[in-house]
């Protein structure tokens, strides 16, 4: 049976720089792969495309359940492409902890944007990673930047206590909310509100317009109680209707204003430098964890030691130190 020849690392790099969507998709699959045989080639690709990254604007989007993230991203993405922007959407779907499966249905939910020649949608499963993003979202983002996309939209799994890691890989963090769904201010974690650069009250259409305006004032008042952000930016609260495509231009103007303010203050660049360092530390943690559990002596003893901890024969601290001793 004929077996298709695999692309070389150089072919992947050249294809990405030539804006080849097929090779970009294959390179993302390669980077997301857990096979050790793919690790070296993925590392090579990332090193070669790195000089061609960093020019895109990175926007993280999260929101409460039912806030209409996919509809908003499709409408906002279409608005951006109408302005001549090339947009990549990295959407993260939750992974079942029982079956490890994921629906990955964002291309179906964003059908209009998926067919836009200036847009690229890549759904990924969150896996066991906390923080609302895939463990290789950073790498995927860099590949898309090298492929010529002006704006990267990262849609997280959903809002919650562990969704805040996305803040650590984007320039601008947008929080999507609803009005008229109960006590809005009690239904959201304070931490994620403090990190939001803009809060958007979605579904401001029909009979819901008045409720959205009331919710807007409530959030504005709540934000005044938070300490000022280190970047000198004062978070905005806006209303929009992704369904009617209203308020989208105002959102884009606010993002543009944010970019100007943070670049003038120098925070835009220092923030990215800090993110690069955190990325390095995350990679160190990942490979230390991988090396530890694949170490010969650790693999031989881990099941026995775990059972001893379960039945209370040894403390977790003493067991951990003994395993680390085997590793070191």
CB 255 within 8 A of CB 60: no
* pLDDT given at position 98: 43
Backbone φ and ψ for 234, nearest 5 degrees, come out as -100, 115
Higher pLDDT, 230 or 306: 306
Count Cβ neighbours within 10 Å for each residue of 302-315 and write b for 16 or more, e otherwise.
beebeeeeeeeeee
Order of all β-strands in the sheet with 198-201: 119-125, 87-93, 151-155, 57-63, 172-177, 198-201, 236-239
Terminal CA-to-CA distance of the chain, rounded, Å?
Answer: 47
As a whole number of angstroms, the distance between CA 205 and CA 133 comes to: 30
pLDDT digit string, tens, across residues 232-283: 888 999 999 998 999 999 999 999 999 999 999 999 999 999 999 998 998 8
Could you tell me the two tokens for 72? 């908003």
pLDDT digit string, tens, across residues 77-136: 999 999 999 999 998 765 433 434 344 445 567 889 999 999 999 987 654 443 334 468
Instruction: List C-alpha distances in Å: 320 to 97, 275, 313.
Output: 25, 30, 13
Backbone φ and ψ for 3, nearest 5 degrees, come out as -110, 125
Instruction: List C-alpha distances in Å: 29 to 229, 261, 271.
Output: 37, 36, 28
Number of alpha carbons in the 13 Å side-chain half-sphere of residue 303: 3
As a whole number of angstroms, the distance between CA 316 and CA 204 comes to: 52
Does the pLDDT at position 154 exceed 80? yes
* pLDDT given at position 67: 85
Residues with Cβ within 8 Å of 249's Cβ and at least 6 positions away in sequence, in order, are 79
- For all residues of the chain together, what is the average pLDDT? 85
Residue the block writes with tokens 């492929």: 147
Number of alpha carbons in the 13 Å side-chain half-sphere of residue 244: 12
Query: How many CB atoms are located within 10 Å of the residue 35 CB?
Result: 8
* pLDDT given at position 37: 83
Total residues found in the chain within this entry: 328
CB 143 within 8 A of CB 50: no
Q: Work out the percent of the chain whose per-residue pLDDT is above 90.
A: 61
Q: What is the DSSP letter of 205?
A: -
As a whole number of angstroms, the distance between CA 305 and CA 314 comes to: 8
CB 76 within 8 A of CB 84: no
As a whole number of angstroms, the distance between CA 177 and CA 240 comes to: 10
Domains of the chain by range and CATH?
1-52 (1.20.5.170), 54-264 (3.40.50.300), 278-327 (no CATH)
**Measuring CA to CA, which residue among 279, 10, 270 is closest to residue 140?**
279
**Measuring CA to CA, which residue among 141, 136, 16, 129 is closest to residue 90?**
141
Q: Is this prediction's pTM over 0.95? A: no
């Amino acid at each position: 049976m004929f077996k298709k020849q695999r692309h070389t690392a150089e072919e992947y790099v050249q294809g990405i720089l030539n804006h080849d969507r097929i090779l970009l998709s294959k390179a993302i699959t390669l980077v997301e792969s857990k096979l050790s045989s793919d690790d070296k080639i993925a590392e090579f690709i990332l090193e070669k495309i790195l000089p061609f990254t960093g020019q895109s604007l990175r926007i993280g989007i999260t929101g409460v359940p039912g806030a209409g993230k996919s509809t908003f991203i499709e409408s906002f993405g279409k608005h951006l492409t109408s302005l001549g922007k090339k947009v990549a959407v990295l959407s993260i779907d939750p992974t079942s902890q029982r079956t490890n499966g994921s629906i990955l249905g964002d291309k179906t939910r964003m059908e209009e944007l998926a067919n836009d020649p200036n847009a690229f949608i890549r759904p990924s499963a969150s896996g066991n990673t906390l923080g609302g993003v895939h463990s290789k979202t950073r790498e995927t983002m860099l590949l898309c930047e090298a492929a010529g996309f002006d704006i990267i939209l990262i849609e997280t799994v959903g809002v919650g206590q562990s969704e805040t890691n996305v803040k650590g890989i984007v320039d601008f963090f947008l929080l999507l909310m609803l009005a008229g769904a109960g006590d809005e201010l009690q239904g959201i974690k304070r931490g994620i509100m403090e990190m939001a650069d803009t809060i958007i009250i979605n579904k401001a259409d029909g009979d819901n317009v008045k409720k959205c305006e009331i919710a807007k004032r409530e959030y504005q008042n709540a934000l005044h109680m938070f300490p000022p952000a280190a970047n000198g930016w004062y978070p905005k609260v806006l209303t929009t209707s992704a369904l009617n495509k209203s308020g989208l231009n105002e959102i884009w103007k606010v993002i543009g204003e944010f970019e100007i303010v943070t670049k003038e203050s120098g925070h835009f660049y220092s923030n990215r430098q800090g993110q690069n360092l955190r990325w390095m530390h995350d990679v160190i943690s990942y490979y230390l964890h991988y090396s530890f559990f694949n170490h010969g002596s650790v693999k031989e003893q881990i099941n026995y030691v775990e059972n001893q901890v379960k039945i209370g024969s040894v403390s977790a601290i003493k067991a951990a130190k003994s395993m680390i001793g085997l590793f070191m």
